[in-house]
Amino acid sequence: MIATAAKGFANRAAEYETGRPEYPEALLGDLPLAGARAVLDLGAGTGKFTRVLAAHVAARTGGPAPRLYAVEPVREMAARLAALDLPVGLLDGTAEAIPLADGAVDLVCCAQSFHWFDYEPAAAEIHRVLAPGGHLALIWNLRDERVPWVAALTQLFDHHAGGTRRYATGAWRQVLGDPRFRLVRQSRHEFHHRMPRSGVYDRVLSTSFIAAMAPAEQAAVRAQVDRLMADHPEILASGSVEFPYVCELHLLQRVG
């Protein structure tokens, strides 16, 4: 993870927790959890995906539940994950140096994180810790830009992004052509994240490159968000914000 992103996420871990959505339950049905011995949530952040995964595993019947692990290198985010007191082994590591033995897990999940990794060392580590035939799940909650006000918000993000690593740049797609992995499934699930007006600010401020800005720059961004909401009164038409998302999954299998 680049230093600017780590700084931003450290500065705005609280806003990340309140402004970012969790993950739809339907996604869990697309993951190869049956028979898995161990699952790793890599780049777990504040535990947005970890808690959904843990709840799903706990509710399953028939067969032993897999052991769950999580790795999150940003201390402030890892502290929030630890405070959830989930039945998850929280490990001190990074995507490029995963503190697990060779073949230790059957599934590695990267929820909203894979685009931050240094690709080659991370791909090698993921391949190493996956058991033969194991799977890599790349998961993103994407803003649904078919909605006009969400498209306008994306334009605001794009204006400030610079050269930041993001899903939108597409650099992460090199894994789809990596001979160490083969694509076995893709899926998309639409959902809404309900939040108060303040949640829109938290969603914006939790974005790494905005979270790393100086306070005066963040205030200017907040003013831009105010103007956007004034231009799109439908955002608060119901009294709260229904932020539309599409959860996207790319499931790959370890080769070799």
Question: For the segment 121-147, what is each residue's pLDDT rounded down to a tens digit?
Answer: 999 999 999 999 999 999 999 999 999
Which homologous superfamily is 3-141+164-191+246-254 in? Vaccinia Virus protein VP39 (3.40.50.150)
According to DSSP, the β-strands at 38-42 and 105-111 are parallel
pLDDT tens, residue by residue, 175-209? 999 999 999 999 999 999 998 888 888 888 888 78
pLDDT of residue 163 exceeding 70, the answer is no
* Three-state secondary-structure class, residue 127: helix
Asked whether the beta carbons of 232 and 152 are under 8 A apart, the reply is yes
Cα gap 103→140, rounded to integer Å: 25
Lowest mean per-residue pLDDT among 1-10, 13-22, 212-221, 232-241: 1-10
State the pTM of this model.
0.89
**Strand partners for 185:** 251
For position 8, what pLDDT does the model report?
A: 45
Close Cβ partners of 8 (under 8 Å, ≥ 6 residues apart) = 207, 208, 209, 210, 211, 212
Query: Which residue, 120, 72, 128, 80, is CA-closest to 100?
Result: 128
Question: Structural domain boundaries of the chain?
Answer: 3-141+164-191+246-254
Query: Which residue, 91, 111, 85, is CA-closest to 31?
Result: 111
DSSP code at position 197: H
Q: pLDDT higher for 253 or 225?
A: 253
For position 73, what pLDDT does the model report?
A: 94
Close Cβ partners of 225 (under 8 Å, ≥ 6 residues apart) = 153, 156, 200, 201, 204
DSSP string, 28-90: HTTS--TT-SEEEEES-TTTHHHHHHHHHHHH--SSPPPEEEEE---HHHHHHHHHT--S-EE
For position 212, what pLDDT does the model report?
A: 81
Backbone torsions φ then ψ of 71, nearest 5 degrees: -125, 130
What are 120's two structure tokens? 């080659």
Cα gap 70→58, rounded to integer Å: 16
pLDDT of residue 159 exceeding 90, the answer is no
DSSP code at position 167: G
pLDDT of residue 164 exceeding 50, the answer is yes
- Residues 78-104, mean pLDDT to the nearest whole number: 97
Q: Strand ranges (DSSP E) for the chain?
A: 38-42, 67-71, 89-91, 105-111, 130-143, 181-195, 241-254
